[in-house]
Amino acid sequence: MTKHVHVQNCRTCNRRKNIFTFLNDDELELIDKHRYELTFNKGEIIFKQGSPLTHVACITEGLAKLYIEGLNKRNLILSFAKPVQMIGGPGMFVDYRHHFSVAAIEDTIACLIDTKVIEELIEHNPVFARDLLKTSNLTSISNFNKFINLTQKQMHGRIADAFIFLLDEIYGRNPFILSISRQDLADLTAMSKENVIRVMKIFKDQGLLKVDGNLVEILNKKELIRIGKTG
């Protein structure tokens, strides 16, 4: 069940995104007056694809997945959000709809900030606006690379890329507890769950991965990177 809390102040919070360093005290106070600090249990929806885009979310604790809800109940995971990432969406300034869904993978805390406040800051603070645009552009570049990988690489290359991504960008340690499900891995790599499990077993038999339940250790990162590059 989603719970509402408000235990931080934007001016003193040490979990805020670096982009907020470009704001002065008055601007931070404006954000603080127009935000909700919510806790989401594992599996709860933060944003629903197609719903009105009234707030952006800043993840301050936990992990969430960003995914497109496709045809026949098949999803495509675009990325994951961890502290201290801000999630908005391309619907801002366009149709004010969410064009992807966001769900908590772990118990997650997020600050939801009114989009009208973000628009006001963009209008009056060009440094903040420029950095926000830079962040949006980096996300677009990442998605371009992802779509190339999904359409031009074989299954082994996709899984190899996925585990290197999880190691380097999400968990940052080896071994790590895989908090995403096998179905999430399938949705991340545009594969079936059965094929994900099969390729993971091949990598395990080849000595590239060690898998014990949700505990994963990458034993040969160099070879996984090579497989990812060759596809």
Q: Tokens 């300034």 — which residue?
A: 93
Mean pLDDT on 66-77:
93
Q: Is residue 137 part of a domain?
A: no
Q: Are 164 and 80 part of one and the same domain?
A: no
Q: For residues 83 and 17, what is the distance between their CA atoms, to the nearest angstrom?
A: 8
Lowest-confidence range among 5-14, 112-121, 143-152?
5-14
Q: Are 22 and 89 part of one and the same domain?
A: yes
Domain end call among 108, 125, 142: 125
What tokens appear for 210 in the block?
């060690």
Name the pTM for this structure.
0.91
Q: How many domains does the chain have?
A: 2
pLDDT of residue 17: 72
66, 79 contact by CB (below 8 A): yes
- Per the prediction, the chain carries an average pLDDT of 92
Quick: pLDDT tens for 72-112.
Answer: 889 999 999 999 999 998 999 999 999 999 999 999 999 99
Quick: pLDDT tens for 130-162.
Answer: 999 999 999 999 999 999 889 999 999 999 999
Q: Give the CATH number for residue 35.
A: 2.60.120.10
Its domain, for residue 68, covers 3-125
Phi, psi of 227 (to 5 degrees): -65, -40
Of 210, 229, 228, nearest in space to 218 by CA = 210
Q: Is residue 83 part of a domain?
A: yes
Q: Is residue 138 part of a domain?
A: no
